[in-house]
Structure 1
Amino acid sequence: MDRPRLRATAAAFTSLMALAATSLVAGPAVADTSADRCALPRTSAHHSIGLDTWNSAYPRPDRDLDAVMVFLSFPDAAPKTRPAELAADHFPATSDFFRRASYGRFQLRAHPLRKWIRMPQASTAYRMKRDWDARRRAAYLRDAIAVADPVVDFSRYDIVYLVADPDAPGVDSDATKVVNFDYPLSADGTDIRRVVTVFEKHPPDRNVLAHETGHVFDLPDLYHRPTDGKSDWDTHVGDWDVMGSQFGLAPDLFGWHKWKLGWLNAEEVRCVAGRRAADRMLTLESMGAAPVPGGTLGTRLAVVRTGEDSALAIEARGATGNDRDTCTEGVLIYRVGNEPASGAGPVQVVDTHPRTEACWGQSVYPALADAPLGVGETFTDPKDRVRVQVLDRTPWGSWTVKITPVAS
């Protein structure tokens, strides 16, 4: 579940030149341009960001998937909204998000029921909330699958959305999340390993179902959940991925995630290393841009392996596709580590303009809103001895980037 809505803030500023030092792990860029060379191994961390193998417990969206939406009412409330209206809150918007993010390589097909199915207990009996009591949550899920089973053939679907009546008195919108079962529930001869429990208001928060569906595909939470309940949630990635904030101005998935999900292939990922000039100069297509004529994507992601368990990722972000509302454009740099679990910072956007902020009144975290490098700007990491220069932007929106090992 994404964090509650925080203040959105904004004002625009872009620095002409940025030279920033950050603390990355390990040594200089190494090896060849083969994408596999930069693929961090998957670990036992929850929603590990490693991508050398796929966790088969999760459906991989490298094929079209079918999702059923089950609408649950309660004895203590008469629904004020029709199932069709709630389905329209999320679809086709969620399917469109993934179609754009995958460059048309993946389709999420929604199959909403047309009627309410009544739960056996009052909504207040389940005591729904964000950090839900495990026994009451288990009772809710068992009851929901049991009442839906006579009308739903669960064997036909890859994803299950359980949508509660948003006007029932016991429904808490902050409880929306993906639930993974220690022991799968069984219905119609199929194992149900996880469900998305939807308790959203009508209309819902923007992109909430895209965020939750990302977890179904084994993507981690990228926000920082403060232990004091007061600090900012968006310090890790700001606006730059829907797994960080569903309210972000640039919610398209990071290229690293698209690589993991199978939407970027080896020809579209460049493992940058070596001393040859051809290995260091490249053209990046904006992450959200549609394929060029002929169906090719071009290079979308550059990766520098910085250690056994870490990498530096470099991609271009522009005002197109899922990022059409972004307030800044440029070349984004972020650290990837395969040891941190979901919510513990497996991805960290590098702030290449650490003394400025941008997009007050719009951005979820203005300090990172101007993180991308613009044309003529340079970022140097002296510890990893890597320099990133943005040399040019073509008339059709591609970015010319030079990535250079820096002598120690």
Structure 2
Amino acid sequence: MPCSRGPGGVERPGLRSLAAAATSLLALAATSLVAGPAVAATGDATPCALPRTAAHHSLGLDDWNASYPRPDRGLDAVMVFLSFPDSEPTLDPEVLTADYFPSTSRFFERASYGRFTLRAHPQRAWTRMPHDSFWYGIERDWDPGRRTAYLRDAIAAADPAVDFSAYDVVYLVADPDAPGVDSDATKVVNFERPLRADGTDIRRVVTLFEQHPPDRNVLAHETGHVFDLADLYHRPVDGKGDWDTYVGDWDVMGSQFGLAPDLFGWHKWKLGWLEGRQVVCVQGSADLTLEPMAAAPVPGGSIGTRLAVVRTGEGSALAIEARGATGNDRDTCSEGILIYRIRSETASGSGPVEVVDAHPDTASCRDRSVYPPLADAPLQEGETFTVPGDRTRVEVADRTPSGSWTVRITAGV
């Protein structure tokens, strides 16, 4: 069958043989699916579970870091609204609460397939800080002393009205109109020594300095850190240039503005939202039907196979999943089979995940994407791609009537 090689080594059937190619590959995949994997794929995902390392927010998932709450159950979050002596708030706490909830809870409900509920408990009144907003020197790269003073003052000021022992997550929301508030300072702060209040240790807090209305999905991103998820963006040394070169639009931990912000399947496996039976560890070759990562389970049915993994080293793996225009990904630029690299030894912000661009010579959605070169990264029907350096081949046959994708994965070809 005549083929042309498209950008990045993607094998594309010629125009005259496109239909025949798709039909041929579909027949091959369907036959193999009936007969079983061509070489080997294990129903036990353990061999592909990378070990957790000492890296900050390591993406190893062979065990859980118990210092973080695991979102495999309902968790309670308190929202404390902080005002300052140099600025009288013009917004009610109820208005700011609506900036984040219920949208953040719905994001996680969809991402977890209903396995996790984030329950918000907003305070109804402003809590006055003891110093003016400028006194704390709020900015992205915050002076540690001033930042510590801000956090201690906030917890102490709120303590008379808040029982911190009742909550799993703490959100400190600053008055967005206070003159010393810098929205670029929004982040999660982890304490080397936990703060103590109401007989409980507070190990980390989310500090929100967003303007009203805030960035899209910003609280979902920051809450991901509370659950030990890493920053997936690339921060340029001088702060200039593209921040989204590692994963583009494809996970909220890369960008809160992403067109397809649902969490990677690897993250969902780590958080307990995907079980081992929904993850296939490919050790040889396997024919699979992958359900779109953001698709809700069929009512009354179970979650099918969502993630395929090829172990490439002691601390590295390739992950392969389907992404479709549904759920949290409903605004995606493109659909198809997404491939990305995982490195459990790489720290947050240094590229622990890198999306493999199956179409490196093209871009898409320049008017909407946070990083157009990766917006068309997924493989489409009838395409075959060999991952550079890892020699894993991914062949995409078609989409089933239910919207799943039929693929063949061959490791180490």
Q: TM-score, normalised by structure 1?
A: 0.91
Amino acid at match of 2:386: T
2:119 aligned partner? 109
**2:49 corresponds to 1:39:** yes
RMSD between aligned residues: 1.5
**2:68 corresponds to 1:85:** no
**2:69 corresponds to 1:59:** yes
Q: Is the 8 A contact 1:20 1:381 kept in 2?
A: no
Amino acid at match of 2:69: P
2:232 aligned partner? 222
Q: Is the 8 A contact 2:60 2:344 kept in 1?
A: yes
1:193 aligned partner? 203
Q: Equivalent residues in 2 for 1:160-239 (5 A)?
A: 160-239=170-249
**In 1, Cα distance between equivalents of 2:272 and 2:88:** 43
**2:263 corresponds to 1:257:** no
1:310 aligned partner? 316
Per-residue deviation, residues 299-328 of structure 1 (Å, max 9, x unmatched): 000000011111000000000000000010
Sequence identity percentage: 74
2:332 aligned partner? 326
**In 1, Cα distance between equivalents of 2:49 and 2:110:** 24
Change (3 A) 1:228 1:382: closer
Q: CA deviation at 1:292?
A: 1.7
Q: CA deviation at 1:156?
A: 0.2
**2:384 corresponds to 1:374:** no
Gaps of 5+ in 2: 11-38
**2:295 corresponds to 1:289:** yes
**2:145 corresponds to 1:135:** yes
Q: Is the 8 A contact 1:19 1:380 kept in 2?
A: no
**In 1, Cα distance between equivalents of 2:235 and 2:120:** 31
Q: CA deviation at 1:374?
A: 0.5
Per-residue deviation, residues 67-125 of structure 1 (Å, max 9, x unmatched): 00000111100101000000000000000000000000000000000010111111111
Q: Is the 8 A contact 1:284 1:399 kept in 2?
A: yes
Amino acid at match of 2:406: T
Higher relative contact order (CA 8 A, sep 6+): 1
Per-residue deviation, residues 30-57 of structure 1 (Å, max 9, x unmatched): 8734211100000000000000000001
Change (3 A) 1:349 1:236: same
Q: Is the 8 A contact 1:357 1:366 kept in 2?
A: yes
Change (3 A) 1:70 1:394: same
**In 1, Cα distance between equivalents of 2:377 and 2:198:** 49
**2:107 corresponds to 1:97:** yes
Change (3 A) 1:43 1:406: closer
Per-residue deviation, residues 121-175 of structure 1 (Å, max 9, x unmatched): 1111101000000000000001000010000000000000000100001111110
Change (3 A) 1:86 1:307: same
**In 1, Cα distance between equivalents of 2:385 and 2:207:** 42
**2:124 corresponds to 1:118:** no
**In 1, Cα distance between equivalents of 2:42 and 2:402:** 29
Gaps of 5+ in 1: 1-14, 22-28
Change (3 A) 1:38 1:168: same
For the residue of structure 2 that corresponds to 1:130, the secondary structure is: coil
For the residue of structure 2 that corresponds to 1:363, the secondary structure is: coil
Q: CA deviation at 1:231?
A: 2.0
**2:364 corresponds to 1:354:** no
**In 1, Cα distance between equivalents of 2:107 and 2:226:** 15
Q: Is the 8 A contact 1:33 1:272 kept in 2?
A: no
Q: TM-score, normalised by structure 2?
A: 0.90
2:283 aligned partner? 273
**2:168 corresponds to 1:158:** yes
For the residue of structure 2 that corresponds to 1:110, the secondary structure is: strand
**In 1, Cα distance between equivalents of 2:404 and 2:179:** 51
Change (3 A) 1:378 1:19: farther
Amino acid at match of 2:342: V
**In 2, Cα distance between equivalents of 1:145 and 1:168:** 19
Instruction: Work out which of the two has the higher radius of gyration on C-alpha atoms and give 1 or 2.
Output: 2
1:403 aligned partner? 409
Q: CA deviation at 1:395?
A: 1.6
2:391 aligned partner? 385
**In 1, Cα distance between equivalents of 2:323 and 2:47:** 24
Amino acid at match of 1:210: A
Per-residue deviation, residues 270-305 of structure 1 (Å, max 9, x unmatched): 111135xxxx10000000000023231100000000
Q: Is the 8 A contact 2:43 2:276 kept in 1?
A: no
The structure 1 segments of at least 4 consecutive aligned residues displaced by more than 2 Å after TM superposition are 15-21, 29-33, 381-385
For the residue of structure 1 that corresponds to 2:94, the secondary structure is: helix
**In 2, Cα distance between equivalents of 1:48 and 1:405:** 25
